[in-house]
Amino acid sequence: MYIIELIINSILQSGPLALATFAIVLIFRTSFTTNFAQGMIGTVAAFITTYILMPSPDITGNVPSPTFLTYLIAISVGIIVSFIISMLVDIVIFRNSKYITPVGKQIVTMGIVLIITGLIPFFFGISDRSLPRIGANLEGTFIDTILLSGVEGLRDIGIFVKYHMVLGFLISFIIIGTLFIMLKYTRWGLGVRATASNENVASMMGINTRFITAMSWAIAGGLGALAAILISSNKGTFGNVTVYFMVAIQVQAFFAAILGGFSTFHGPIIGIILLTFFKNLFTSYLNPWGNTVLYLFVLLIVLIKPLGLFGKKIAKKV
Chain residues binding another protein by CB under 8 A are: 33-34, 36, 93, 96-97, 100-104, 106-108, 110-119, 121-122, 125-126, 244, 247-248, 250-251, 254-255, 258, 288-289, 291-292, 295-296, 299, 302-303, 306-307, 318
Helix ranges restricted to H, the chain:
2-31, 38-53, 68-88, 102-124, 142-156, 163-185, 187-197, 199-204, 209-235, 245-260, 266-285, 290-304
Q: Cα 126 vs. chain centroid, distance in angstroms?
A: 24
Which residues fall within 8 angstroms of residue 206, CB to CB, at 6 or more apart? none
CA distance 40 to 16: 16
Using the minimum distance from each CB to another protein, give the nearer residue, 158 or 306: 306
Work out how close the CB of 309 gets to another protein at its nearest, in angstroms, rounded to a whole number: 13
Using the minimum distance from each CB to another protein, give the nearer residue, 65 or 117: 117
Work out how close the CB of 228 gets to another protein at its nearest, in angstroms, rounded to a whole number: 16
Work out how close the CB of 189 gets to another protein at its nearest, in angstroms, rounded to a whole number: 25
Q: How many Cα atoms occupy the beta-carbon half-sphere of 113 within 13 Å? A: 17
Using the minimum distance from each CB to another protein, give the nearer residue, 3 or 126: 126
CA distance 34 to 126: 29
CA distance 169 to 269: 13
Q: Cα 264 vs. chain centroid, distance in angstroms?
A: 17
Work out how close the CB of 261 gets to another protein at its nearest, in angstroms, rounded to a whole number: 10
* 216: three-class secondary structure by DSSP: helix
Using the minimum distance from each CB to another protein, give the nearer residue, 111 or 236: 111
Using the minimum distance from each CB to another protein, give the nearer residue, 1 or 318: 318
Work out how close the CB of 146 gets to another protein at its nearest, in angstroms, rounded to a whole number: 37
